[in-house]
Structure 1
Amino acid sequence: MFRDVCTALFSFILVLAACAEAARTLPDMRADIAYKSGSDLSDYERERCKLDLYLPAEKKGFPTLVWFHGGGLTGGSKSGKDTTKIAQSLAAAGIAVVVPDYRLSPKAAFPAYVEDAAAAVAWARQHIGEHGGDPRKLFIGGHSAGAYLTLMLGMDLRYLKKHGIGQDAIAGLIPVSGQTMTHYTVRGERGQGGRYDVTADDAAPIHYARKDTAPVLLIFADNDMASRAEENEYLAAVLRATGNEQITVRKIADREHGSVGHRIAEPDDPARAALMEFISMHSETR
């Protein structure tokens, strides 16, 4: 009986130790931080311009990824199940994740949501050091509409410049299955045609293609939305034609538009592996 008691006690101690270790690796999450302030903000801005911050446990000097949710610029939330899983899993792997909400169409119109995205990046650059991160290792990414916002910030320098942020302040861009032409929601706001019409005006990331962008990792699915893979491949070709040598393209097999983003939360996901490798490589050069 004494042996049984000792065995049970030893097992209990092991369980407690495992729980303590798990607790040490759980990310620290801070919710609903306002990233815009001022008396001139609309009620809608006050409602939407908040972010959640996921921090690696017991680490310092870590890289940070500002991750924009998808939803066609008309929906989505920083609190969505898939977005939350991605943020939690990356933070557990040692990367801080800033997940902002932003204003949505039709309550807001272009360029409001891009301006919000820039303000969220500015908040991250200004404040991540207070939470233990290295502001030099600042990455921007997102899925679908979030990828479009990522590309707009990375290609059109005006938005970040309003916050005193130059292109060299961004360590890299990670758009996942984003539109590189004018987003169909923006075209709809402007009465410019159907979902798959092609426009490359001032609201198109490709309009601002140039040689000196931050490093870019373009991720999309082998079974993505119609023309999405081709848009991304064309952007890569145009950037390379400018002499830009910092472009990486990853087409992920056995994925469609949703899963190529959502499954980044999974440890063995190939898109996640590409993202992690990209962040590690470009953090080392900062």
Structure 2
Amino acid sequence: MLKKTLGLVLLFALAIAPSFAFAQEKKSGSKLEKDILYRSEEGLDDYAKKQCRLDVHYPSEKGFATVVWFHGGGLTGGDKAIPAYLKDQGYAVVSANYRHHPHVNAPVYIEDAAAAVAWTFANIESYGGDPNKIFVSGHSAGGYLTSMVTLDKRWLAAHQIDADQIAGAIPHSGHTITHFTVRKERGIDSLKVVVDDLAPLNHVRKDAPPILLTTGDREMEMIGRYEENAYLWRMFQEAGHPDCTLRELEGFDHGNMVQPAALLMKPFVKKHASGK
């Protein structure tokens, strides 16, 4: 019953969201800077220089929270264009592209995601943001990247950042086992479950930042996606993690669950940005 009620509430919210978001954007005075190179080390090839870029959409007030956003696309495609439903929600959005298979293989995608988060820690204050209020989120492949850079501390440690500085993680419908594209690179069948060092499930820890897991309806999602996230949630409970929540959005499939799931981000960000 609770699940069904949540679905109805989200459907109503979505019905009024486009006009409300437009009204907010007209009045907000928010700004957008595009195509900022977030990796500048020597030796980047042309493809890296093209893909390793991000957009920053930020409000006019100071001290705001920021969500670093990673798009979906199976690690093989997608774009950093910021969805309208993420704009003017009281937080900034740093939307980052990353390199795709088959141009690169794992773990390059994760390294790029970590570099984009590191760029945000180093630069968001110059836009008026608070570096203590940085969240990471994304949909599908972006949800997988969100979990990897948050839970496996080595990727941000390469940039001298402790992943526990992340204020919260919100992976939407992300793999929690090793990603199917990573398995494909290794010649592993898509139905063979692998949980290795490139699986978020392999990095469950009690001291991870607060986590909000969302998926679509278990009967409409990509195969096993709800069950993967439910198992990750259970393992966090077993580990004694104090703040991991799972939300299943009834009536929404893998592709269309992200907009209603984004509605759940706002209270999560507000709560954890306030330190409560």
Query: Structure 2 vs 1, CA of residues 274 and 190 (structure 1 numbering), >3 Å: closer, same or farther?
Result: same
Code of the aligned partner of 2:122: Q
1:99 matched residue in structure 2:
95
Q: What is the aligned residue count?
A: 253
2:73 matched residue in structure 1:
71
Partner deviation per Cα, 1:110-141 (whole Å, 9 max, x = no partner): 00010000000000111000001111000000
Q: CA deviation at 1:89?
A: 3.6
1:204 matched residue in structure 2:
199
* 1-structure distance, mates of 2:191, 2:72: 18
* 2-structure distance, mates of 1:143, 1:175: 6
Between stretches 113-122 and 19-28, larger displacement belongs to 19-28
2:216 matched residue in structure 1:
221
Contact kept in structure 2, 1:225 and 1:257, CA below 8 Å: yes
1:13 matched residue in structure 2:
none
* 1-structure distance, mates of 2:269, 2:249: 18
Q: Would you say 1:144 and 2:134 are equivalent positions?
A: no
Code of the aligned partner of 1:241: E
Code of the aligned partner of 1:29: L
Query: Structure 2 vs 1, CA of residues 20 and 166 (structure 1 numbering), >3 Å: closer, same or farther?
Result: closer
| 2:87 alignment partner, SS class | helix
* 2-structure distance, mates of 1:184, 1:234: 17
Q: CA deviation at 1:168?
A: 2.6
Code of the aligned partner of 2:250: A
2:106 matched residue in structure 1:
110
Cα-Cα RMSD: 1.7
Partner deviation per Cα, 1:201-221 (whole Å, 9 max, x = no partner): 111110111111111100001
1:44 matched residue in structure 2:
47
The 5 Å alignment of 1:267-278 reads 269=260, 271-278=261-268
Gap runs ≥5 in structure 1: 1-18, 264-268
For normalisation by structure 2, the TM-score amounts to 0.88
Q: Percent identity?
A: 44
* 1-structure distance, mates of 2:23, 2:229: 44
Q: CA deviation at 1:155?
A: 1.2
Partner deviation per Cα, 1:8-29 (whole Å, 9 max, x = no partner): xxxxxxxxxxx99964415311
Partner deviation per Cα, 1:9-63 (whole Å, 9 max, x = no partner): xxxxxxxxxx99964415311010000002211221111000011112x211110
Query: Structure 2 vs 1, CA of residues 92 and 187 (structure 1 numbering), >3 Å: closer, same or farther?
Result: same
Q: Would you say 1:154 and 2:150 are equivalent positions?
A: yes
2:238 matched residue in structure 1:
241
| 2:206 alignment partner, SS class | coil
Gap runs ≥5 in structure 2: 1-21
Which has the higher Rg, Structure 1 or Structure 2?
A: 1
1:280 matched residue in structure 2:
270
2:178 matched residue in structure 1:
182
